Structure 1
């Protein structure tokens, strides 16, 4: 697990690369590696998890004593961020073809795998990864590849002259000379409509994220081109006999994946929120430790100092007692939240409106300080197993009714009616020219569902089920290919690696996700299967409780006299908003006054979103000016 960076078709100095590395070194504190040629570079900051004593990056496969005029240069050189869960199998296969390896590290085999399979090498990888590889054997080419879900993001910029720069984190990418800091004005609407910038585009013009499951190639100064876009990894569907008792079959599959991911060369713990999804992971990880005869698993739960609504610490302790984990309750100090929020926004690189980001950073930093390099989480279960009310409501809407608009409205940090009041006339004009985000998503969902419905009718599915299945397929595709990578997985990667911790996601493994498409269309079947899988493993109190997201009690913490509301008033001033020109200072002030007089979840979420965006803009200005505060390893927050 690492942070990677590099350039192609352009000269880059080592001092420039040092600044790039410093901005993401928190994610790779154990070692640094660099390989530089006349018009290319590859670098890595390593978090040593698999074979900590080996695995020196960049990885090399020699092409002889001379290559591209560089004495002793490699023919193939690669850097890698992630974990390859099938590296033992790949190593045996490649050894059978005559390759030898200096260590047991998973990434070591990447140059040899590319030498054997060329641009199809990523088809053989199973895990989470972002790979950057240079093939210098003939005409130099850069190859970038990402895992099928986008669990390990890779940001890139392509200059008009064909030069390419890339990095694991957006602030690091901005440290390259020639990479502009240029916000996209319409990204504000995308953010307030969906709580994040999703898809390939980022909030900055000219900077993109390599899409999930993509292999892209640059040759010479032709620029980066997509070579192949892989479909999400297929996996053998569950046996039809298992579908008669889906809880037992799903539990067997999830057990196998949790047991596999719980094995590492560094200490492993689990995140236990007190809910079903993380509880299942906790129970199965504790089971694996007992089977292996190792020490008990440590579980970590985040709560807040003082008395706050919706605390889950009692449920988390109940899970820990039932599973026999060594439990740790991390208590965050609300007085520190203003400074912590500043660091959270900086680590994310782009605005994300979910208050869970702040909670997550506190939790991961506590895990890192305790000496754990790996943690297992329950992320991804809701996307694949229909855990969201908005999806169930859209699927269950009567035939012919409007299901797409209410679904998109449920995604928003700021409801559409309020957005339209907050936007200035000038910003409204810009959005009319470029189409508002909500309208674009609604149109895409409706078109996708229509295509799905036609396909099912051709396959002679029962007519009364066609529309519901078509909607569910369209929504699941949107949730898993756009929202999950852009909203969830990027923040999980950035915030865990901010603390030097690798987060592993059992629910995102192909064998587990195959269950989501095999279960019946009924809106709650996915979660019913998970609840059935938890019977006998988790306390009844957890299985009976209503769903509650692991997040910040934002309405209370943005209440009168709270430091976060004071911060919002300090940051969202009329002068700052007028300078930007997209938000009405009068209406934002009205929103702040309303939250002060009568704190409410909807108002608080809108204030939170605006606060995060303004902080991000101001940090972006500091990055553009080369502020030294954005280099090096950031301070750790006290929990």
Structure 2
């Protein structure tokens, strides 16, 4: 697990690369390696997980001179690949997973990623004939890779946006529609980011650049997965293999079904298993520590209950915003960052999580409501509104006339998502398939997986995601809608593994009680009020200060989850604009 970076068809100086590396060194504190040549550079900040004493990057092999590679992630089938490649004459200096990449590329060329099972973002520079850059990311998008294309085919890339912005020629230019995007979907979806010209490779993509042609991005055909057994057996297999590590490993246990299943199955393989749960000091609604402790007792783990002082929340918001490089209005980001800080502080380098289950197994209320809508009714508009931090009518009321006109002319991201969901339905696609495809291919990578990657690696922790493995995803696709709806299949799998109280409790997100914390006397009220001051909002020219103030007053009189989330999204966007200004100047980024 590492942070990677580089450039192609573009010069990069030593000090420039030092700054790029410095901005994401928190994710790879164990070793730094950089190689440069005429018109290219390749670098890695390594977090040593597999074969910690080997695996120096960039990766090179004597049997494949001129092929250089860097890897962020884990290649789970590297032992099988090493045996196959050794039979073809390749010699490897160590047993590290990334060491197979130059040989694999030599045998398969840009199609090499079709042979990989794992979570990864990979960059390869091929100098054997005409120089070529190849970038590849895993099928689910668990390891993001951001890039910028400049004049003359110049390509610059990095694991994190703040690092990418440290390259000369990569501007920190916010997209004008970002405010509407944050309110409509909480964070940018798909391949776009909140900064103009900066994109992220889509899941399962390979991109190739020759000379000055720039990148050509294509999605690979899905990797063939052997027929799976039942859901519980498949999930058990994936959890067990991901629970094997050369460094200390733990599990995140929120107290819900998804992380509870991962915890129970991991405890079968890794004993004693340490588990971590996060709460906030004081008495707050929707606390889950009782359920988390029940899961830990049932699985016989060594349980760590982490408490965060609410007075620290504003500092956490600033840090998470900087690490993410773009706004994310889901308050779960703060909890995620603080939790992985505790994991690293306790000496663990790998953590198993339950992310991805809701998307694959229909766990969201919005999905259930869309599937339950009568035939012929418009289920897309309510579904898209459920993605938002602020409903459409409220968004438009808060905008200035000029910004409202701009969004109407350009089209809101909500309009584009609605059109995307309606298009396949018109072609006869099944509603459940349409929703699952959107949740897993568009929302999951952008909304959850980038957050988990960035905020775990902020503390040099590798997060492993059993639910996002191809075999689990393939099995989920074969289940009838009634088995997926409300995660029925997962609840059935949990019988006998999890306490009855966990199986019978209603779904609750792992987050912080936002409405209570922005209420009168709450620890977030004054920071949010400061970020939404009339002077700040007037400078932006996109929001009406009087109507934002009226929204805050309404919430203070009658606190509500919806108003609190809207106010939080506005505050997050305002803070992000400040962070972007700071990233215009090359400075280091500490966790």
What TM-score do the two structures reach when normalised by structure 1? 0.91
Q: Distance in 1 between matches of 2:313 and 2:543?
A: 25
Listed one character per residue, the Cα deviations across residues 23-82 of structure 1 (whole Å, up to 9, x for unaligned) are 101100111000011211000000000000000000013489xxxxxxxxx400011100
C-alpha displacement of 1:595: 2.2
For 1:59, what is the secondary structure of its paired residue? Answer: coil
How far 1:571 sits from its partner (Å)? Answer: 1.4
Please name the residue that 1:601 is paired with. Answer: 561
Q: Is the 8 A contact 1:62 1:75 kept in 2?
A: no
Partners of 1:342 and 1:155 lie apart in 2 by 21
- 8 Å CA contact retained: 1:196, 1:487: yes
Give the conservation status (yes or no) of the 8 Å contact 1:238–1:518: no
Pairing partner for 2:225 from 216, 235, 239: 235
| 8 A Cα contact 1:155 1:173, kept in partner | yes
Alignment partners' CA distance in 2, 1:109 and 1:417: 54
The within-5 A match list for 1:94-105 is: 94-105=85-96
Which has the larger displacement, 184-193 or 488-497?
A: 184-193
Q: Which residue pairs with 2:216 in the alignment?
A: 225
Aligned to 2:173: 182
Show the counterpart of 2:427.
Answer: 451
Where does structure 1 lack aligned partners over 5 or more consecutive residues? 65-73, 240-248, 290-294, 454-469, 635-639
Shift in Å at residue 103 of structure 1? 0.7
- How far residue 389 of structure 1 moved from its aligned partner, in angstroms, is 1.1
Match of 1:273 among 254, 258, 265: 254
Give distance in 1, aligned partners of 2:225 and 2:535: 55
Q: Aligned match of 2:243 in 237, 262, 265? A: 262
Name 1:465's counterpart in structure 2: none
Match of 1:501 in 2: 461
Matches within 5 A, 1:255-334: 255-289=236-270, 295-334=271-310
Separation in structure 1 between the aligned mates of residue 590 and residue 392 of structure 2, nearest angstrom? 39
1:251 equivalent in alignment to 2:232: yes
Matched, 1:135 2:100: no
User: Which residue of structure 1 lines up, in the alignment, with residue 590 of structure 2?
Assistant: 633
Instruction: Output one character per residue of 1:485-536: Cα deviation in whole Å (capped at 9) or x when no partner.
Output: 0100000000000010000000001111122111112275461111111111
Write the distance in 1 (CA, Å) between the matches of 2:389 and 2:197: 25
CA distance in 1, matches of 2:365, 2:225: 27
Q: Distance in 1 between matches of 2:377 and 2:583?
A: 47
Aligned to 2:79: 88
Match of 1:244 in 2: none
Q: What corresponds to 1:146 in structure 2?
A: 137
Alignment partner of 2:238: what SS? helix
Query: What are the superposed Cα offsets for residues 81-125 of structure 1, whole Å, 9 maximum, x if unpaired?
Result: 000111110011101101011111100110000000001100000
SS of the aligned residue for 1:184 comes to coil
Give the drift of 1:160.
2.1
What's 2:498 paired with?
538
Aligned position for 1:337: 313
Contact 1:519 1:526 in 2 (8 A): no
Rounded to whole Å, the distance in 2 between the matches of 1:3 and 1:138 is 28
Aligned-partner Cα distance in 2 for 1:255–1:146: 25
Give the alignment partner of residue 357 of structure 2, picking from 366, 381, 389: 381
Q: Does the 8 Å contact 1:449/1:473 carry over to 2? A: no
How far has the Cα of 1:572 moved from its partner? 1.3
8 Å contact kept, 2:3–2:46? yes
CA apart distance, 1:632: 4.0
Aligned to 2:32: 32
Inter-partner Cα distance in structure 1 for 2:224 and 2:24: 33
- Structure 1 residue 232: Cα displacement: 4.2
Distance 1:535 1:622 in 2: 51
Q: Identify which of 68, 76, 86 aligns with 1:77.
A: 68
Q: What's the Cα RMSD here?
A: 1.3
Q: Please name the residue that 2:575 is paired with.
A: 615
Give the stretch that moved more between structures: 433-442 or 345-354: 433-442
Q: Secondary structure at the match of 1:60?
A: coil
CA distance in 1, matches of 2:443, 2:193: 13
Distance (Å, rounded) in 1 between the aligned partners of 2:464 and 2:393? 39
Could you say which residue in structure 1 is the equivalent of 2:22? 22
Give the superposition deviation at 1:225.
1.1
C-alpha distance in 2 between matches for 1:432 and 1:62:
58
1:245 paired residue number: none
CA-to-partner distance for each residue in 1:528-558, whole Å, 9 max, x for gaps? 1111111111111111111111111111111
> Secondary structure of 2:153's match?
coil
Equivalent position of 1:462 in the other structure: none
CA deviations over 1:177-199 (Å, ceiling 9, x no partner): 11011111112212211111001
Q: 1:63·1:76 contact (CA, 8 Å) conserved in 2?
A: no
**Gap change, CA 1:518 and 1:613, over 3 Å in 2:** same
2: distance between equivalents of 1:558 and 1:230?
45
Partner residue in 2 for 1:528: 488
Q: What residue is the counterpart of 2:546 in the other structure?
A: 586
- Counterparts of 1:43 and 1:318, CA distance in 2: 44
Residue in 2 that maps onto 1:2: 2
Aligned residues of 1:150 and 1:485 also touching (Cα < 8 A): yes
Contact 1:149 1:232 in 2 (8 A): no
For residues 404 and 633 of structure 1, the distance between their equivalents in structure 2, rounded to whole angstroms, comes to 42
> How far off its partner does 1:139 sit?
0.7
Given that 2:70 and 2:122 are in contact with CA atoms closer than 8 Å, whether structure 1 keeps it comes out as yes
For the residues of structure 1 that align with 2:475 and 2:427, how far apart are their CA atoms?
Answer: 23
Q: Secondary structure at the match of 1:161?
A: helix
Q: Kindly state the Cα deviation for residue 587 of structure 1 after the two structures are TM-superposed.
A: 1.1
Gaps (5+ residues) in structure 2? Answer: none
Deviation at 1:161, TM superposition (A): 2.2
Q: Could you tell which deviates more after superposition, 295-304 or 617-626? A: 617-626
- C-alpha distance in structure 1 between counterparts of 2:540 and 2:465, whole Å: 39
What is the distance in 1 between the residues matched to 2:36 and 2:479? Answer: 50
Is 1:52 aligned to residue 52 of structure 2? yes
